[in-house]
């Protein structure tokens, strides 16, 4: 969604990250594992921050702790 908001193609994001169009396609599909390092590079390319979180408590009312990387 962010890529579309910025009006970027997968190729343009790939260029910003120094990777391939197919790598961006795999990330966007959600079908493949992506490292935190890659997510940080993607966030930089998309001008956003990566936020990682932990949850405790019941699934119906989780307590969340978020950390910005």
Q: Which residue range forms the structural domain that includes residue 28?
A: 2-68
Q: What is the pLDDT of residue 31?
A: 84
> How far is residue 28's CA from residue 4's CA, in Å, rounded to a whole number?
12
pLDDT tens sequence across 2-59 = 999 999 999 999 999 999 999 999 999 998 899 999 999 999 999 999 999 999 999 9
Residue 33 Rama label (left phi>0; alpha psi -120 to 50; beta) = beta
Q: What's the CATH number where 36 sits? A: 1.10.260.40
pLDDT tens sequence across 50-66 = 999 999 999 999 999 99
Q: What is the pLDDT of residue 34?
A: 92
Q: Are 51 and 66 in contact (CB under 8 A)?
A: yes
> How far is residue 66's CA from residue 24's CA, in Å, rounded to a whole number?
25
> How far is residue 40's CA from residue 18's CA, in Å, rounded to a whole number?
13
């Amino acid at each position: 969604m962010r890529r579309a908001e910025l009006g970027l193609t997968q190729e343009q994001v790939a260029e910003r990250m120094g990777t391939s169009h197919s790598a961006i396609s795999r990330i966007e599909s959600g079908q493949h594992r992506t490292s935190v390092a890659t997510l940080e590079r993607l966030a930089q390319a998309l001008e956003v921050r990566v936020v990682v979180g932990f949850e405790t408590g019941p699934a119906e009312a989780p307590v969340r702790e978020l950390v910005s990387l």
